[in-house]
Chain A
């Protein structure tokens, strides 16, 4: 926009958001953002504002939107309690590299530091959980701050940024002109490839007998799913995914061998331990992936590709770090890669899968009169045919969803990985649905986590958001109960829940619902949920004390997977 126009700061903010292509804004009003809301009133047709029921709902919805679309999620909250209510989502987005621009109101700059009404030091509080943050105290700073915020949020390793706007800056007049930010001298979002390093990596992969690719979320963030698959096909390399990488590779790809980590598959974890070369792409070797680091992948040389240089060598020794965008590196690696027969190695994967199936089949015997959570997710995968976006909460529901969902499209598994935030699922699902309205979006929630943010049913009702909701009601904080059963001698300390009548709650929000408790009801209910044109809540009463297996106990080696209690 070349011509300057005279507007107030609040309007400049909205014009800047429009310049950045923002179509949905999740927010909650309050005293220090009223001027911005006054302008939103005029811009209703250009920016779709979604009023959530809690600021935590707004930020998680923005995360769900960002994760489903690949665009920047935007949320808006007032100062003080509005800003502090965003914290959990911002921290979650920081750990899960989710691009967010979070806008908070702030007391007028003349009152900063005086403990004014609803003043909180948002900048200090969000410093360790943002990629960048900035306080605006004059209207003229707004376009530049917004431009910088979007540039930083979406480039390099994406992450959340906060813009804290003092009330006086919202009402002052300024000359508006917008110039997108395209570079900063103190920031390299797209590192240059080092040809020698790539050549060395190709050599290492070609020399390997038992290579294994670990696909992380970085592959999705780089939009490099296809390049990943091409590389793996070129070199005949088996692929695994981290929790955050799930859905980057279709489950039915013949070279896909399963999920990694604490509740990953036997094949993926055993192959890690037997591999002689690990190619890790856009992931960060978190403790949930490695188990005991000192016993991790004892025979493997490790090549680690990441766009964030601070991740290289952070958690374990890496033989060849590659500081690069995943797409750039994968494309370069493909050149010179040799196709090798690896039938023995793939046989090993198949054997491990058989062992896993066999060992888990015993644990399902006694469940006949109850529905098992594992069975719910398997049936859901069948009903949705791999086309749905699955958004999970945290706990057993999440791990079962990760283990048994099937995907044939990327960006289809949305979960709180790094922070493990209960309450994430429902608002993230509604945000995802608004981002990809043509796709089926199913929230898979625990009875505990649902109750942390269930007020967002109000948002779903008011905005007619057609998200499907499954509550896996096991009347327990199941994942904690599982740890208490396995590691604390069955002492169930404060993990049992007395739940409300979820169908009455759904009714209160005018959301059609159904409650089932017998295995033979499952398929029909899932089909009815799928056919529902709007939102739908399906409560599934499940086996109360089902455990998620396989499991690598915290701190144990990946070799020591357990299959039963």
Chain B
């Protein structure tokens, strides 16, 4: 059964690793839903968070193939429930309702957003939340014909148990953990 799986990979910060990792998905014609690369808390090591819809069996094989890439230090995969996942979204909306009743702050609070920028033409609001929460507000704004532009960050995740313990061990021992 297809469901969303998130792979978290730590790699040497080397050119080409990104291509090698995505090619493990491409080969099996799995569409990547979101992908984020950032510096991990350890200098020189990058953290990849990739989400895609596939089966439990396939994601395990993909994870093994990613683990085989020379510059990859550690790979784990999770289903959504195992992770705390948040997204950040920016909503650019018409300033009309605010001009009409001047209740910018109240509305923003009601939506759970933060006011980033305000002009006579538009207002930019920021919201942090689960994908569903972000989506819900988007739909509400759309239904009211307010939404002009919308962007989201992709998943920012943190594991309930630490994904870093193993990584620290790897770095200290100077070799990748066998799995």
Contacts and interface: CB of A to CB of B under 8 A. Distances in A.
Taking residues whose C-beta sits less than 8 angstroms from the other chain, chain B's interface range is 20 to 34
B78 to A, nearest CB: 19
Interface in B16-33: 16, 19-20, 23, 27
Interface residues of A, number: 25
Interface in B125-179: 170-171, 174-176, 178-179
A47 interface: no
Contacts of A127: 16, 19-20, 23
Contact of B61 (A185, A186, A314): A314
A contact face: mostly helix, strand, loop, or mixed: mixed
Interface string B36-66: 0000000000000000000000001100110
A185 B73 contact: yes
Interface in A287-342: 308-310, 312-314, 323
A155 to B, nearest CB: 11
B67 interface: yes
Contacts of A128: 23, 27
Interface stretch (A187-195, A386-394, A454-462): A187-195
Contacts of B12: 186
Contacts of B61: 310, 313-314
Contacts of A131: 70
B94 interface: no
B34 interface: no
Interface in A168-192: 183-188, 191-192
Contact of B171 (A132, A185, A192): A185
Interface string A337-354: 000000000000000000
Contacts of B178: 188, 191-192, 309, 323
Contacts of B27: 128
Contacts of B174: 183, 185
Contacts of A134: 16
Nearest to A191: B178
Given A128-B23, A183-B174, A185-B174, A310 B73 contact: no
A469 B93 CA distance: 76
Nearest to B20: A127
A310 B71 contact: no
B68 A310 contact: yes
A78 B1 CA distance: 48
Contacts of A314: 61, 64
Given A127-B20, A133-B16, A192-B178, A187 B70 contact: yes
A309 B68 contact: yes
Given A310-B61, A314-B61, A186 B16 contact: no
Contacts of B60: 313
A438 B68 CA distance: 38
Interface of A: 123-124, 127-128, 131-135, 152, 183-188, 191-192, 308-310, 312-314, 323
22 contacts: A123-B16, A124-B19, A127-B16, A127-B20, A128-B23, A131-B70, A152-B70, A185-B73, A185-B170, A185-B171, A186-B11, A186-B12, A187-B70, A187-B176, A188-B175, A188-B176, A192-B178, A309-B68, A309-B179, A312-B64, A313-B61, A314-B61
